Chains A and B, each alone.
Chain A
Amino acid sequence: MDERGRRFEQLVVPHLGAAFNLARWLVRNDHDAQDIVQDACLRALRFLDGLRGEDARPWLLGIVRNSTWSWLQANRPAEIAASDGEDESQAPAPASDEPETSAIRRAEARLLNEAITALPPALREVIVLREIEDLAYRDIARIADVPIGTVMSRLARARRLLSQSVKVIEAAADRQRAE
């Protein structure tokens, strides 16, 4: 009985957290991320028979990533257009320069999150998959459907941009401490 439901519970549900985290980072709000992940998981349920002996996590994340990019293409085409990351964009400047003095660390975390959010989606997703989800290059390549070489250059570019942002964040924190 209910073999498919059980397989879904064993294979897909454990990775729901990673699926939601990825979609949420890409679309930047809970509501849309939830809709996208729900659709993607129901699609995964339909294709569950195609999953034979491979690792379910990159498989599911690949489906979620696809759904998310389709959604972005339909709803925020401008964001995608600028985002193949080929242009050497400016390091995103953290928006705020007045963190609460009582919570410099919290302010730093907020600025870091803003800096990641300001990355073009193609760079943001490799950072989320590599640094937050701790996936190997080959899995990231599969999920984002690009060659490993592209994953590597995107990762290098994303980290270069974030390093610049971090320098701004650190300078701001130093100023706060000095005051």
Chain B
Amino acid sequence: MKHEDELRLHAYLDGELGVTESIAFERSLGEDAGLRSQLAELRALRARIRSQASYHEAPAALREKLLARAHRQAAPQPRPLARWSVWLAAPALAAAVLLAAWFAPSLLPGFVMPDLRVQEAIDDHLRATLASHWVDVASSDRHTVKPWLSAKLGFSPSVPDLSEQGFELIGARIDVIASESVAALVYRRRQHVVSVFVWPGASAGTGALERRGYHIVRFERAGLAYWAVSDLNLSELQDLANLIAAS
């Protein structure tokens, strides 16, 4: 069994596949008796672990001790500045109101909080990983990928050939982030795959992030936002971002 097939089997068992991927997986289950028996074996293993493995209950004394410590430590905190805090809070509040007014347009409907966007970007990348559905157009030729994207999306991301720098172009797909269609360029570095999401407009933050074990590097180039998402280490992902930004 191929490694990805095995991981997909486990992801299905664990309820971690998306709807589309689950349906596709169930179709292959229907056709493959070997796969069915592997799934049954894994389910039996799970049932056995859940019914027989020990659950080590925390000792009651530990709970008591911790509660006592928490309340004791928290209770006698002196607050000598408390009276000053009123005077400090007033200007801070005024500043907050000004800031809110300044950013008000971004709080209108349709604006998506950056963190939600981050979550969706990672989900899109992960879904592609689990489904092994990396690309809608498979090509290492930038002259195929770029026109395909601009025809589908109405904007044209930079799709540099970076094979000499060790990033192999696999192709591209269309994904959705914050209810907008976005381009996803797909590069490979060793066994790591990188999705580079591109959409017109501002990036909702630049720089690097780490979430749920994934790295995200965000930048803007020529009026487009670029987000590179991967489990690749941060420094190599940053290299890729710099190369695209400079292309």
Say yes or no: is B222 at the interface (Cβ < 8 Å to chain A).
Answer: no
Residues of B within 8 A of A155 (CB): 10, 14
- Mark A149-166 against chain B: 1 for CB-CB distance below 8 A, else 0: 111110110010011001
Residues of A within 8 A of B16 (CB): 136-137
- Mark A134-146 against chain B: 1 for CB-CB distance below 8 A, else 0: 0011100110011
Is the CB–CB distance between A131 and B212 below 8 Å? no
Please classify the interface of chain B as helix (H, G, I), strand (E, B), loop, or mixed, using the class held by over half of its residues.
Answer: helix
Say yes or no: is B50 at the interface (Cβ < 8 Å to chain A).
Answer: yes
Is the CB–CB distance between B11 and A152 below 8 Å? yes
Interface residues on B, range: 35 or more
From residue A4, how far is it (CB to closest CB) to chain B in Å? 4
Say yes or no: is A30 at the interface (Cβ < 8 Å to chain B).
Answer: yes
From residue A42, how far is it (CB to closest CB) to chain B in Å? 6
- Mark B197-219 against chain A: 1 for CB-CB distance below 8 A, else 0: 00000000000000011100000
Say yes or no: is A24 at the interface (Cβ < 8 Å to chain B).
Answer: yes
Say yes or no: is B24 at the interface (Cβ < 8 Å to chain A).
Answer: no
Is the CB–CB distance between A132 and B55 below 8 Å? yes
Closest to B115 in A: A53
Is the CB–CB distance between B57 and A138 below 8 Å? no
Partner of A112, one of B7, B53, B56, B59: B53
Is the CB–CB distance between B213 and A16 below 8 Å? no
Residues of B within 8 A of A20 (CB): 56-59, 62
Is the CB–CB distance between B213 and A25 below 8 Å? no
Contact status of A166 and B62, CB under 8 A, knowing A5-B75, A33-B56, A159-B10: no
Is the CB–CB distance between A131 and B49 below 8 Å? yes
Closest to A130 in B: B14
- Mark A1-37 against chain B: 1 for CB-CB distance below 8 A, else 0: 1111110110011001101110011000010011001
Say yes or no: is B73 at the interface (Cβ < 8 Å to chain A).
Answer: yes
Is the CB–CB distance between A156 and B71 below 8 Å? no
A-contacting residues of B (Cβ < 8 Å)?
Answer: 3, 6-7, 10-11, 14, 16, 41-42, 44-46, 48-50, 52-59, 62-63, 65-67, 69-71, 73-75, 77, 126, 129, 212-214, 231
Given contacts A2-B75, A34-B59, A166-B48, list 11 more A-B pairs with CB under 8 A: A6-B74, A8-B70, A17-B55, A17-B57, A20-B56, A20-B62, A112-B53, A116-B49, A147-B213, A149-B213, A166-B45
B-contacting residues of A (Cβ < 8 Å)?
Answer: 1-6, 8-9, 12-13, 16-17, 19-21, 24-25, 30, 33-34, 37-38, 41-42, 45, 108-109, 112-113, 116, 127, 130-132, 136-138, 141-142, 145-153, 155-156, 159, 162-163, 166
